[in-house]
Chain A
Amino acid sequence: MKQNADNIKIFNILGTRRIWYGISITLVVASVVVWAMYGFNLGIDFTGGSLLQVKYETTDPSIGAPEADVITQQVLDSGVTEAVVQPSDETTVIIKTPFLENEQRQAVLDVLSASVDGKVIEESFESIGPTIGQELRSKAVTALIMVVIAIIIYVAIAFRKISKGPVPSWAYGVSAIIALMHDIIITVGIFIVLGHFYGVQINVMFITALLTILGFSVNDTIVVFDRIREGLRRSKQTDFEGVINESINFTMMRSLNTSITTLIVLTALLLFGGESIRYFIVALIIGITVGTYSSIFIASPLLLLWQKLLKR
């Protein structure tokens, strides 16, 4: 793809904004609907409980881990009240149980080991007491709220000087936040679906991904707004719509390139990065994609909407 001074193509993004609004509203509504239908599939980070990942090293390598049902029964036999077994690959399974004391964990391992010809190796174990789960939950909510507030304040400060423009400076902040909520809601919506059908859990890592997406999304939006701010001062375009459209077009390649380069490394991590951070990466990929889309197609067109609303 080559560009030069003479043949820069200007896409009329604002002209088609109704389509983008339509897509976004559909996705946001769909996310709220799946949330109402399925709810969150919260991980042990927030509910308390234990996750035990074991690898079966059987003497006969052609035999992998036993069936999930068999393992579930064995775990229940060892005195644990509840167990969900999820095979990870041929030889590895992840067992989710209520909070286990160290002795109980040992008991489970002993029972599993006794049942096979070979060894059962504890690859990882995580146990979170109910109080910690409760605490992490409230901490996660606080962190989300804090990030949103911090970003509102930051955007308001960063754009305080464009009070002379067609829209007041707070409109930039509010638009950025709307775009941001849009990104978060859609990402969460996709994870609710993943959680319902594939057992993907909402855990601390997911919240981390969400917060990172918040940072990135607003980052993208700010770059576009920055450009609009500059465009208002020096662009040959006379109307607000023209300035916005030009600014989006000038920053679009930057937004896309940034997202593409970030997505390149994320995809590499997804493909080769191993099991434990897989869904963290998935969340980031979704969030950054949605964030880039919203900074181009939602955040800036919203400014125009403000202008029209405020004129009345």
Chain B
Amino acid sequence: MTTRQKLWISMAGILVLTALAGVVDYPNGPDIIWRGNMVRELKVHLGLDLQGGASLVYEADLSNIEAGQEEEAMAGVRDVLERRVNAFGVSEPLVQTNRSGESYRVLVELPGITDINRAVQEIGETPLLEFKTEGPAELTDEQRDIINNLNQSAQDQAQEALDRALSGEDFAALATELSQDTVSAANGGDLGYFESGQMVPEFETAAFGAEPGTIVPEVIETEFGYHVIKVDDKTTGKLSELNEESAEDTIAEITDDATDVTEATEDESSDVATEEVNEEADAELEVEAVRASHILIQKVPEDNSIFGPNYVNTDLTGKQLQHADVEFDSQTNTPIVSLQFDAEGATLFEDMTRENEGKTIAIYLDNEPISTPVVNQTITGGQAVIEGGFDIEEAKTLARRLNAGALPVDINLVNQRNVGPTLGAEAIQHSVVAGIFGLIILVIYMIAYYRLPGVVAVIALGIYGLVLLAIFKLWPITLSLSGIAGFILSLGIAVDANVLIFERFKEELRNGKSLTAAVEDGFKRAWLSIRDSNVSSLITCLILIWFGTSVIKGFAVTLAIGIILSMFSAITITRNILKIMPVRDTRWFGIKR
């Protein structure tokens, strides 16, 4: 085979390669089909900054994970996040775990997502499902503090009411306004007549100890709360008769300022009450009785009644959940979420229900109790329902989130990058304009300076561009803004290789060598420079890839591919075309002889 034949063969190879690259590059061109059924769509993958979307980095809190189990926990996190992310329906989501020193992170990329807030919420907020049982009733210090604070403010309120009463404000009006004993408050605080033993001791002592018509000069604390007491009357008689009179008094008072409607109803009910009392009145003994009014500011009992039971964690969590479904309660027809546990969960749930019969268990979602059903009997088979008072949407969302699974560990958002779709579109447009302008000036410059070789370089550059784009599509490499910068910069480098060759080539021509010899020698000499200089750039690229946040990686990868390809382009394409050209006049190369 002659050298000429060899040249034509490599030329044909270049043409075939160019044609293949062109087919791959063609927009909406063919897809790759493997073994008849695996199809890979060929397209340029755009990065977040070009098509908009969100990139989220979460750091996992592995403090509760045993040493050596971290990788497994992270794999769990990745699986769960993948399932959650898939629910968003974005085209190419990415979930990647990585380790950086001591911290374990997950990178989630959601290209093209529009509702970033919802995404962040649904990804990051762990649907932490926990089943808790009633723990010991003792108050925690925190709870005790809360109670003390509440009671202190109640006492202050009572003191204020007392001060106002002592300063001469109308007691009945005050009682109506302030008293938390709603029954007596309606009657201006009037409790009617009572005898010894009917009231709690502290109240009684104070009431019986005071002169009629006076206000007890201090706030009296009882188990109900803080009382401001006014003694209206002290007498001896049958309680029922005394109270009958007092009731009439009260009615008379009310009638004065009440509306017609209230009058009518009050009248009716008190008539009934009076008759009943009269029937029993005869058997009664006369007793010493006191009639008093009070203003009550209630206090909180020092137990956990306001907090509900102290729920404690059990081993049953969302981890043992097999499946969650939306169902409808057969009686109320409200949506409920049904849960099916796995074998371990079923056993745990059975034990839990057996041990807590008659008590409540609490179902916590994200640290909030959403349902606290009472256990009626031991439940076998591992089924439970959550009646959280949901509407249908809430129930569906919960079931979906539960099905996606609970995260084995907590994750925190440590890095977030959102790009709106308009910004991305603008960036693409800008880059395309920049690329076109850059290319045009480059072509003009190369041809003006290098003449025919300039044209050859431009052709080589064109093929270089086609092949590079094809590689981007085939690999596939996600093209980001920094990637485009790398791509455009690599155009400069590709030109550089050609420039090196041409300068050497011209030098050889000037030294009087024949065209073919000049091409060969020029290449030989230039190759060392091209290789040495590009290797240093490649080293930099490799370190940049390692340095790699995604932005930098994109830049470095495209630049590295560009550098390698530019070497290939300069050596093969430019050399072949130059050699094969039928031109023999050196003026075509900008050299006068």
**Contacts from A to B (Cβ < 8 Å):** 1-5, 8, 53, 55, 101-102, 105-106, 121-129, 131-132, 135-136, 139-140, 143, 146-147, 150-151, 154-155, 158, 204-205, 207-208, 211-212, 214-216, 218-220, 222-223, 226-227, 230, 250-251, 253-254, 257-258, 260-269, 271-274, 276-277, 280-281, 284
Contacts and interface: CB of A to CB of B under 8 A. Distances in A.
A289 to B, nearest CB: 13
B543 A135 contact: no
A257 B449 contact: yes
Contacts of B57: 132
Contact of A272 (B423, B434, B529, B544): B434
A216 B529 contact: no
A268 B59 contact: no
> Which among A101, A223, A267 has the highest number of chain B CB atoms within 10 Å?
A223
B244 interface: no
A265 B438 contact: yes
Contact of B414 (A124, A131, A251, A262): A131
Contact of A220 (B423, B488, B503, B533): B533
Given A102-B120, A121-B420, A272-B431, 17 more contacts: A3-B506, A127-B416, A127-B417, A129-B414, A131-B59, A132-B414, A204-B552, A208-B551, A211-B544, A219-B537, A222-B533, A223-B500, A262-B493, A269-B438, A273-B430, A274-B426, A276-B423
17 contacts: A3-B590, A102-B117, A102-B413, A124-B418, A129-B414, A132-B414, A155-B536, A215-B539, A257-B499, A257-B503, A261-B492, A265-B434, A269-B485, A272-B437, A274-B426, A274-B431, A277-B482
Contact of B510 (A4, A122, A269): A4
B419 A124 contact: yes
Interface string B467-506: 0000000000000011001001101110110011001001
A260 B446 CA distance: 10
A126 B537 contact: no
Contacts of A4: 510, 591-592
> Which among B116, B422, B423 has the highest number of chain A CB atoms within 10 Å?
B423
A262 B251 CA distance: 101
A8 B449 CA distance: 16
A226 B413 contact: no
B433 interface: yes
B38 interface: no
- Interface on chain A toward B: helix, strand, loop, or mixed SS? helix
A119 to B, nearest CB: 12
Closest 3 CB pairs of A and B: A262-B492, A215-B540, A268-B438
Interface in B511-552: 511-512, 525, 528-529, 532-541, 543-544, 546-547, 549, 551-552
Nearest to B591: A4
Interface string B435-457: 10111011001100100000000
A226 to B, nearest CB: 5
B529 to A, nearest CB: 5
Contact of A125 (B416, B435, B512, B535): B416
A4 to B, nearest CB: 5
Interface string B537-571: 11111011011010110011001000000000000
Nearest to B485: A277
A258 B496 contact: yes
B482 A214 contact: no
B415 A226 contact: no
B492 A266 contact: yes
B100 interface: yes
B423 A261 contact: no
B218 interface: no
A222 to B, nearest CB: 5
B460 to A, nearest CB: 13
A283 B388 CA distance: 58
Contacts of A127: 413, 415-417
